[in-house]
Chains A and B, each alone.
Chain A
Amino acid sequence: MNQPAKSPARLLTPFNVIAAVILAGGAAIGLLRFIKGLGATTNLSNDVPWGLWIGFDVMTGVALAAGGFTITTAVYLFGMKEYKPIVRPAVLTGFLGYALVVVGLVVDLGRPWRLPYPFIVKAGPTSALFEIALCVMLYLTTLFIESTPAAFEWLGWKRLRKLVGSMTIALTIFGLLLSTLHQSTLGAMFLATPTRLHPLWHSTYIPVHFFVSAIAAGISMLIVEGSLSHRVFRDQVEISHEQFDKITIGLGKAGAVVLLTYFIIKVMAIGLENEWHYLATPYGALFLVELLGFVALPCFGFLLGYRERRPLLIRISAVITVIGIIFNRLNVSIFAYNWQLPAERRYIPHWMEIWVTVAIVTAGVVAFRWIVKRMPILHEHPEWRGVH
């Protein structure tokens, strides 16, 4: 396929220059954070110890990286082979996503060099975070192994490639198991904060809310990222437009089912805990915007797009869903959190926090681009056609 840019002139593209500035700034702020501490680089406080870096980089990042386990389950366990062409980009996005979640976490933790402590020094198994740490560690490893076939094909390491191929089913089952656990447990972290999280978002069912919405996020990310890849890396893509549209429409159908399920369980939680009266408050308005504008609306869009075979409508609905998931995770961890605190004790992110978050996302895009241009991600390697 196409050759990597070698000459320095080709390196000075607008994309590269902007990405380099963002990344350099992010690295500088990261350094400052380790010299001066979190106090100098964030607006975190004793009232709000978790800000954008946990709310977006970790909470949202994990949900948006759910495409990997969703699609490997569909293709390898349920036998939906027609989606095979999008497995590799999804697994790669998942791996990069989780790797960057860990980067975000390292920046945010007070003493990140102690990250292995729960497993080697002192375990706190009563904590939801203990389970998340364990699952994320194992799942990151799983995603790494799942994304090696492309690298092995590229490098021509046939034995290793065959070995990993033979582990496909086991890795898929392991990945789904770990994802079920940590996606839901991210929600379970808020079971311990019944007074601090607004009742409309807090629920005994919050683990299930988090898991189901993560699947919706995963499916939507597959659609969004697929459409972008097909536009940006046109020379890499092997499958035809018709085939890709068919995949998009199929994903849209799945998205409609998952979002409808999510809508039902969200409404059910309000009903079972009898919290209808909160809907008439400002937080109720925020909740309704989220539920109607970012769950019900894209659900309808997916449904219509599937019925009338309109891939564009499905793509738009996927974008709305992705924004909705970001909105939901930020609502839970920031906007509707500490809702009873007076305004002056609430949180607005520091510009350095925003910069680091943008830099982390940029790093993901740059890494994805670098790999896709070299390895067989969007197309099959000629020697390994049709092999797991």
Chain B
Amino acid sequence: MSVSRRGFLQGMAAGTLAAGTAGAAGFKHFEGYPGRYGLLHDVNLCVGCRSCEVACNQVNDNPPPEPPTADKSVFTKMRRPTSKQYTVVNRYLNEADGKPPVYRKQQCMHCNEPCCASVCFVHAFTKTPEGPVLYDPSVCVGCRYCVNACPYYALSYEYEKPFEPRVVRCTMCYPRIKKGLKPACAEACPMGAIKFGRREELIKLARERIRKRPADYIDHVYGEHEFGGTSWLVIGGTSFAKLGLFEGVTHESIPELGSGFLSVVPLIVSVYPGLLAGIYAFSKRKERLAREEREAAVSEAVSKASEETKQKLSAAADKAKKDKDNAVAQAVKKALAEAEKASGKEVSK
């Protein structure tokens, strides 16, 4: 499924749904827009003249490349695309293999399912049916997640601009393609090292070159499958790792790598409230049972205690009565005895 097709679902509610379908559609595969364009860079043909850089800067209204193309000292340092120069050619020494140095042109690869498009939270990138990945500065918030995530280090940012900084990169000359023209770099290349055409055709052409000169080429078209495939394809005789490209990466696109987790999100949203309310009810219930048990125990203890108290009270009352009776009896006895004594005295008088 393409990111742009996924992106038609908009709004907050749709957000969760789209994240869900991303994972739910796991077994389906989107081959990409049929007949889309691409470019093939043949490292074996590139001589590092940087004509492509000059043409690119002209077409995109950027100042001419610095230092100028005549200055070969530029190759002592590895460069990368910047906000003022969307493509750069670097030299890679090849002495270990006893071969002359090679040159590789670097720019946005225009992925089939672009990482930048999938990580953008305002969906500022669109993969066009023609092949180029386009950027819409009118919605960009400037978080630079795309610049940070791009596996090809191809995106740049206008750090010097305080108010309207944009993410910038090669557009694959989309306006020129629309007019039926080749991208500027492909037109400018004097060696034919950059070939523009339908991506399918370019892959066939690349295979043909590899088949014809197996000693000069590694049997691999870089960009055919890497991270879901790219519009720019690279072939050559030097290992791609040496050319600053990641070898042996997955054929899954980067959007696919993240979609599995994102599909868990709606699941958590739907399961959590019930689950947590259940846990709450459970702890409440435990609390209530404990309280009831305590109350029962207390009331039992109280009733037992009151029973005992009653018995004690009645026993005490009995005793008191007995004591009282005894006391009365004794008092009577004493009184009688005294009365007897008194009457005896009277008699003796």
Chains A and B belong together in one complex: yes
Q: A residues touching B (Cβ–Cβ < 8 Å)?
A: 33-40, 42, 44-50, 76-79, 109-112, 114-115, 117-119, 121-131, 133-134, 169, 172-173, 176-177, 180-181, 184-185, 188-189, 191-196, 204, 207, 342, 345
Beyond A125-B14, A188-B261, list 8 extra A-B contacts (CB 8 Å).
Answer: A36-B162, A40-B160, A46-B82, A46-B147, A114-B141, A125-B17, A129-B145, A191-B258
B185: CB under 8 A from chain A? no
B residues near A131, Cβ cutoff 8 Å: 15, 19, 262, 265
In the bound complex, what is the Cα–Cα distance between A39 and B15 (angstroms)?
33
A177 lies within 8 A of B162 (CB): no
Interface positions of B from 28 to 48, Cβ below 8 Å from A: none
Q: Which of B149-157, B174-182, B193-201, B216-224 contacts A (4 or more CB under 8 A)?
A: B149-157
- Contact-residue size bin, chain B (C-beta under 8 Å from the other chain): 35 or more
Residues of chain B contacted by A124 (CB below 8 angstroms): 7, 120-124
Distance of A181 Cα from B145 Cα, bound (Å): 19
Residues of A within 8 A of B147 (CB): 46, 49
Chain B residue nearest to A115 in the complex (CB): B141
**In the assembled complex, how far is the CB of residue A216 from the closest CB belonging to chain B, in whole angstroms?**
20
Q: Would B276 and A176 count as touching, CB distance under 8 A?
A: yes
Which residue of chain A lies nearest to B120 when distances are taken between CB atoms in the complex?
A124
Q: Which 7 A-B pairs have the closest CB atoms?
A: A110-B142, A39-B159, A125-B15, A79-B283, A124-B123, A37-B162, A49-B144
Q: Which of A123, A127, A181 contacts B10 (CB 8 A)?
A: A123
A180 to chain B, nearest CB (A): 6
| Chain B residues closer than 8 Å to A172, beta-carbon distance | 276
Knowing A37-B160, A49-B147, the reply to whether A177 touches B7 (Cβ < 8 A) is no
Q: Which residue of A lies closest to B139 (CB)?
A: A122
- Which A residues lie within 8 Å of B228 (CB)? none
A59 to chain B, nearest CB (A): 12
Residue pair B83, A117 in contact (C-beta under 8 Å): no
Selected contact of A118 from candidates B121, B148, B151, B160, CB within 8 Å: B121
Within 96-146 of B, Cβ neighbours of A (below 8 Å) are at 115, 117-124, 139-145
Main secondary structure of the interface of A (DSSP, over half): helix
Please provide the chain B residues from 269 to 295 with a CB less than 8 Å away from any CB of chain A in the complex: 269, 272-273, 276-277, 279-280, 283-284, 286-287
Q: Is the CB of B276 within 8 A of A123?
A: no
Within 8 Å by CB of A181, from B11, B83, B162, B268, lies B268
The 8 Å CB contact of A126, one of B22, B143, B268, B272, is B22
Contact status A130-B261, CB under 8 Å? no
**Interchain nearest-CB distance for B325 vs A (Å):** 56
Min distance, Cβ B222 to any Cβ of chain A, angstroms: 14
Q: Max chain B CB contacts within 10 Å: which of A111, A173, A184?
A: A111
Q: Which of chain B's residues have a CB closer than 8 A to the CB of A128?
A: 119, 258, 261-262
- The answer for the CA separation of A285 and B70 in the assembled complex, in Å, is 45
Q: How far is the CA of A219 from the CA of B147 in the complex (A)?
A: 34
Is B18 on the interface with A (CB-CB < 8 A)?
yes
> Which of A39, A177, A189, A194 is B272 in contact with, Cβ under 8 Å?
A177
Interface contacts (Cβ under 8 Å), in number, total 203
Task: Say yes or no: A192 contacts B149, CB within 8 Å.
Answer: yes
Separation of A126 and B153 alpha carbons in the complex (Å)? 21
The chain A residue with its CB closest to the CB of B82 is A46
Segment with Cβ contacts to A, from B54-62, B249-257, B304-312, B327-335? B249-257
> For the complex, is B6 an interface residue (Cβ under 8 Å from A)?
yes
* Interchain CB contact under 8 A, B141 and A77: no
B108 → A minimal CB distance (Å): 12
Contacts of A42 in B (CB 8 A): 159
Instruction: Say yes or no for B80: interface residue by CB 8 A criterion.
Output: yes
Report how far A44 CA is from B268 CA in the complex, Å: 36
Measured CB to CB, the closest approach of chain B to A36, in angstroms, equals 6
- Chain B residues whose CB sits within 8 angstroms of the CB of A204 once the complex forms: 260
23 A-B pairs within 8 Å (CB atoms) are namely A37-B162, A39-B160, A46-B80, A46-B83, A47-B80, A49-B148, A76-B280, A79-B284, A110-B142, A110-B143, A111-B140, A124-B123, A125-B15, A126-B3, A126-B19, A177-B269, A188-B261, A192-B115, A192-B118, A192-B149, A192-B254, A196-B149, A207-B261
- B280 near A169: Cβ-Cβ < 8 Å: yes
Minimum CB–CB distance from A137 to chain B (whole Å) comes to 11
Contact A125 B18 (CB under 8 A): yes
* A122 engages B287 (CB within 8 Å): no
